[in-house]
Chain A
Amino acid sequence: GAVVSQHPSWVICKSGTSVKIECRSLDFQATTMFWYRQFPKQSLMLMATSNEGSKATYEQGVEKDKFLINHASLTLSTLTVTSAHPEDSSFYICSARLQGARGSPLHFGNGTRLTVT
């Protein structure tokens, strides 16, 4: 149980275009989902907390207009990288926690490797 599916697993786009990444909790409901970014050989950096039915909470230094987050249902959160640039190339990972289970472990998707050319 507690499976998180992330799509696509990889994407290549041209500079200036926008890319949408989906994160789905397949067998549980998640009021809150989290979006991380990971550079090669580095740890996961929290970008934002996605809250179902309300605005996302962004970490300091993360541009909310650049990284648009929508959490329209209890099983789906999307991250849109707008006007992508080569420096946005990275590994993006989402995670989710069982609804109402504060303190329970996060379950991660398999990540999306974004390459901006």
Chain B
Amino acid sequence: GQQLNQSPQSMFIQEGEDVSMNCTSSSIFNTWLWYKQDPGEGPVLLIALYKAGELTSNGRLTAQFGITRKDSFLNISASIPSDVGIYFCAGQLKNNNDMRFGAGTRLTVKP
């Protein structure tokens, strides 16, 4: 299926630092989403992007839908310990009903 390349695979940062992660694909996506998953739980939606070039914020989180429709990034500013978890990007193809997920970025925040 259509592959999403998410990087980095993992990050170890100090509390207060900013974080950036991204997803790229060879396919054009209609929608980009960013989810966070805590251990033993299902993913929770953070930000949804619907238009190329769209830049959306949710508190300390900011995500952008790339102009080419083939990539997206997520930034977290001033990280805190509860930001720890796995962040997944997800893309939906046009005229397709399901989502494809990146491999995830495992974030560790040291107090």
Contacts and interface: CB of A to CB of B under 8 A. Distances in A.
Given A103-B50, A103-B92, A105-B33, A43 B101 contact: yes
Contacts of A59: 1
Nearest to A2: B45
Contacts of A91: 40
B96 to A, nearest CB: 9
A54 interface: no
B44 A106 contact: no
Contact of B98 (A49, A107, A111): A49
A49 B100 CA distance: 13
A93 B99 CA distance: 14
A98 to B, nearest CB: 12
B89 to A, nearest CB: 10
A25 interface: no
A6 B30 contact: no
B97 interface: yes
Contact of A113 (B40, B43, B90): B40
A44 B40 contact: no
Interface in B84-111: 88, 90, 92, 97-104, 106
Interface in A15-72: 32, 34, 41-44, 46, 49, 59
A46 B98 CA distance: 9
Nearest to A46: B98
Interface of B: 1, 30-31, 33, 35, 40-45, 48, 50, 88, 90, 92, 97-104, 106
